[in-house]
Structure 1
Amino acid sequence: MNGPEQTTAKITGHKAVLINSTVATHRNQRGDLDFQEDRVPWIDRPDADVAEYVRSVPVAQRPREYDLAEKLEFFRQNGYVVFERLIDPHLIDLFLSDVDTVIREPDKYPVLVACDGRHQNVPVGTLSREELTGKIHYRMNDIHNMSTAGKKISLTRGLVQFLEHAFQDKAVAMQSLTFRYGSEQGVHQDFAYVVSSNPSHLAASWIALEDTSPDSGPLGYYPGSHRIPKFDFGNGLFYDKDSTHGPKEFGQYLKAECEKHGLKKETFVPKKGDVLIWHAALAHEGTMARDRSLTRLSYVTHYSSASHYVCDVRAPHIEPVVYQHNGGLVFGHPGMPQHENALAAAGPVPLASEVVDQPDVSDSSQSYPITSRKAG
């Protein structure tokens, strides 16, 4: 294979074609217990030739921050890749200031949170200030909708460029999770829970907002686990209300398969600004903290490709409001448009329709052809 099949998928304003229940339709097709080979990203196909693909990209148009061939090949083989000091530390500081503002003024900035299994997707004001600044485990969901710093971190140039090459399509930031402490979540694979019309077109970034201690419950992951056989929840690949097997059995299966294939767990102990991108099917977990007084400030973004995430899962029947930064896309919150970009210390993020989509390496716009496979 000489890289991906060249069918143009250049999207500017990203006018969504509303297909009503794109996501639901896919997730009801449970006949296969694996990703459909003719619909996976080119990099996941057995005949993917990364070296030849990268040779086709002009040197001046490759990411400046890293060796594209090295990163793509490592990702193909291992299901994850690390980028050191990729995120601007000043942007991280602005983002952390936005998080503090939400905690100080929860009524003004009603970000949704999930907390220690007691609360799921409730306004941040449901928790007391003592809880929000204490040592309980909670996460803020989709703060990027209010925070332009969050949007800009999720759509950092080098991160977006890598995903565009891996997907061969524009990258869409689907959702974000912000953590103060480690999640201690059991081992899992994201595609079983994170909704996209094509589960193989998913990836996530884990960004360190501070230097991480090995005692704080760092991210754990199993290199190569993106290739193990998929788990059957009793009704297919995805966990939902009709599944007869649950997260505990899912985790047990993944650990057993990793042991069977000789895959050893590693941990990510990054410095502030480091990024780990993982594959949709990489088995990963939040390890147990050895010192619960230690924070583990981190920011996770899930992504899909523009061709496979044309509508917001939070409101799949309406056309999304689309923002663009460094060529990457992100949808406005359909339920809280009045709060979009309310925390704008990092500066504006334009609507995709306002972006002049011209090749220009200097401003990180797309200067190489964005291509994708036709849907199988």
Structure 2
Amino acid sequence: MAMFKQYIIVSPGQDIQCKEETLSKAIADLPPKGVLIKVHSSGVCHTDLHQWLEGGFRLSDSEYLLFASREGMGYPKVPGHEISGTVYKFGPDVREDESSLSKGDSVIVYPWIACGDCRYCERGNNDHCTGGKSQEIGMNINGGYSEFVIVPHYRYAVPLPSAISIDMGSVLGCSSLTVYNAVKTGLAELPEAGDWRSDDQFHVAVVGLGGLGSWAVSFIPLLFKPAIKPNVAITGIDINESKLSTFVDEGLIQNSFHLSTLKPPQEQASMCRDKISTKGYQIIFDFVNNPLTFDVSIRLLGNHGVLVSVGLFGGTGNVQLPLLSLGRKKIIGIHTGSYNLFKEMLEFLASNIDNIKTPTLSVYPLADCMKALRDVKEGKISGRAILKVNNET
């Protein structure tokens, strides 16, 4: 009897456990229009850490948004929402001519399915779902820390562009999509290009140069309007001085500021403005989003500026409300992106791959998922960590 391995979070704070499942059961459990994917690689996301360690997102020192309080997101659960692999088996109602996919085709899984049936989901705008019951692979559907994963509908197994490696494909369904959405949304909120003089310096800050920030510093120059692009100056802000130096040396950022956990936000914002010689940033992307980074970012924001709040490290932030109103500043929250945007991003990546500095991948065997999670937690990863599940695919 063919078996496969799954790595399961039984309860928050406990070590992940390996369990064997029968392949015949996975095939029998396939939804009518579903597809069974043989997992090649699975990204290790910070959300996996929240699932494993805390069981939710920290809202304040005493308050959490618990996964178990949301429908279907309790435990035990197989984590992993960033997945690449190959088509293994279609559900019983998928006609041979219905899908462009065939067995063995390389795919990337789009995990944020939502209800999948309402008018928004049917049009690919899953982030506007009104159907009520959400489906999220790795969250309330067993995910990619497994040798096989069930995708509820074959449309969410998206063909892997030939220009993108299958390992890199495993980090696109969350981190890359989230950054693409953040940059496009943030730039759409800025004044029209004609409102900027040709000699204006356009200051952009990227807070957190990890797995998300490393995508952002490549996406920003490519997505800016041509009239602004020549004068864009990116400041990287991070607590890791070595990482900042590497990004400067590689020409990915023009300025850097070392963030300290020991100095108050107001002092650090003033120090950063003095170092960069700016009164404020036109747009800031906070890919950490904890109390320190938020408080520094909101103080760095210039008049008419946009703060794009992305990270889920958690906590509360302080806003000086009169300055928000008087400066006509905007704060926008971003979380992943729609199915349509995911397909658009894949086309963008494939056509610009030679101009994009993709994150360094630290590769671990699936059996070492606990080590990978601990290394991410301890900040040992430069770029992204992935689990190599099936080497032969």
- Tell me which interval the TM-score lies in, with the shorter structure as reference length: under 0.3
The structure where helix makes up a greater share of residues is 2
Which is bigger in relative contact order (C-alpha 8 A, separation at least 6)?
A: 1
Structure holding more strand per residue: 2
Structure 1 length as normaliser, TM-score?
A: 0.21
Structure (1 or 2) with the larger CA radius of gyration: 2
